[in-house]
Structure 1
Amino acid sequence: MNVIETKIKGLLILEPKVFGDNRGWFMESFNQKAFETALTERGLEIPQFVQDNHSLSQKGVLRGLHFQNAPYAQGKLVRVVQGKAWDVAVDIRKDSETYGQWVGVELSGENHKQFWIPEGFAHGFLALEDNTQFLYKTTNYYNKESEGAIIWNDPTIAIEWPVNGYEIFLSSKDINNKLLVNI
């Protein structure tokens, strides 16, 4: 597995080794030992995953920016198994040097990249193709009373969403998300 460090400590892009030939391909989509080694080498905490989630989105669907407050904060290991998406994590740790900064990565069923997003980050994505399927592991169970969200186009965060040529579709809940300064 190739591990790419991002500009924000703790956010990692993981590229599994894919073995392919004319029949197709094979990869380990998750290996606990390799994941722990990657985090340990960087001085990061080792999470325990407790839940897997799977979602389907059509082109132009934008979900986020979602997070869970303590004590139900969640780390997420995110990947796209079909389609393509622009995936974003925003640092919402108020004592962090990178508070309010974001990292984005294109995830697809073709590039097999995964995005490790530890606790303390808001997460969102834009589906770039129809039938984009996300799979993600979480380090804590979902708790409705602990959920929070930031509006996707918060001008203080200034995420560079690849929205040219896309009609954006938001849930009624995400339309009313707050600005970062109000969370």
Structure 2
Amino acid sequence: MSRFDIKNLPLDGLKLIERQQMGDSRGFLSRIFCTNELSAAGWSAPVVQINHTHTARRGTVRGMHYQIPPHAEIKLVSCLQGEIWDVAVDLRTDSPTYLQWHAEILSAENRRALLIPEGFAHGFQTLSDNVSLLYCHSAAYHPDAEAGLSAQDPRLAIHWPQDITELSARDAGHNLIDPTFDGVKV
């Protein structure tokens, strides 16, 4: 029995993962990750790093982050507390959906996760206070490979569902896409 329902999304390689929950009067079990089952969704590497984030205020935007090859990563993003609007942007130069974005609501209640392939930028907006996320990464974080796009870039035209109440100085400092930006080659 599979513990995941895997759904294709409009951007090639981007997948919505719906976790099945098994429970009884004591509570429940919900599998977060399984290499065997998620390989069908495109997870093709070991989990190298797992991170937990907490965001206190509703309306906060984090992103749009990515790592430059050869440190590009696959991410599996799960919401453990609260609710987010999770966004992935296709940065793959040769992709027919280059610079297009897609968003999904992830919450503790809907048990959804987003599987984001290499060559995508990722960000989210909190739709509630006190949001906790769990990230599985296929590559370790490398500060020299860190990159980002402005979450408010008019070229991306991401339609954030709420007014942005908070954005870190680092994220606010990401440049707009200019004519010299040539995407990511993975």
TM-score (norm 1): 0.90
Match of 2:167 in 1: 170
Match of 1:80 in 2: 79
Displacement of 1:3 in angstroms is 0.8
Per the alignment, do residues 110 and 156 of structure 1 end up closer, same or farther by CA in structure 2, a change over 3 Å counting? same
1:54 lines up with 2:52 in the alignment: yes
Whichever residue aligns with residue 49 of structure 1, its letter is V
Displacement of 1:121 in angstroms is 0.3
Aligned length: 176
Q: What RMSD in Å do the two structures reach over aligned CA positions?
A: 1.5
Match of 2:18 in 1: 15
Match of 1:136 in 2: 135
Displacement of 1:29 in angstroms is 1.7
Displacement of 1:22 in angstroms is 4.6
Structure 2 unaligned runs (5+)?
182-186
**Contact 1:100/1:180 (8 A) holds in 2:** no
Match of 1:35 in 2: 38
Q: Where do 1:114-153 residues align within 5 Å?
A: 114-153=113-152
Structure 1 unaligned runs (5+)?
none
Distance in 2 of aligned mates of 1:73 and 1:31: 21
**Contact 1:51/1:139 (8 A) holds in 2:** yes
Distance in 2 of aligned mates of 1:66 and 1:98: 18
**Contact 2:35/2:43 (8 A) holds in 1:** no
User: Among the aligned pairs, what percent are the same residue?
Assistant: 39
TM-score (norm 2): 0.89
Displacement of 1:75 in angstroms is 1.2
Whichever residue aligns with residue 34 of structure 1, its letter is E
Deviates more, 1:14-23 or 1:75-84: 14-23
Match of 1:25 in 2: 28
SS at match of 1:94: coil
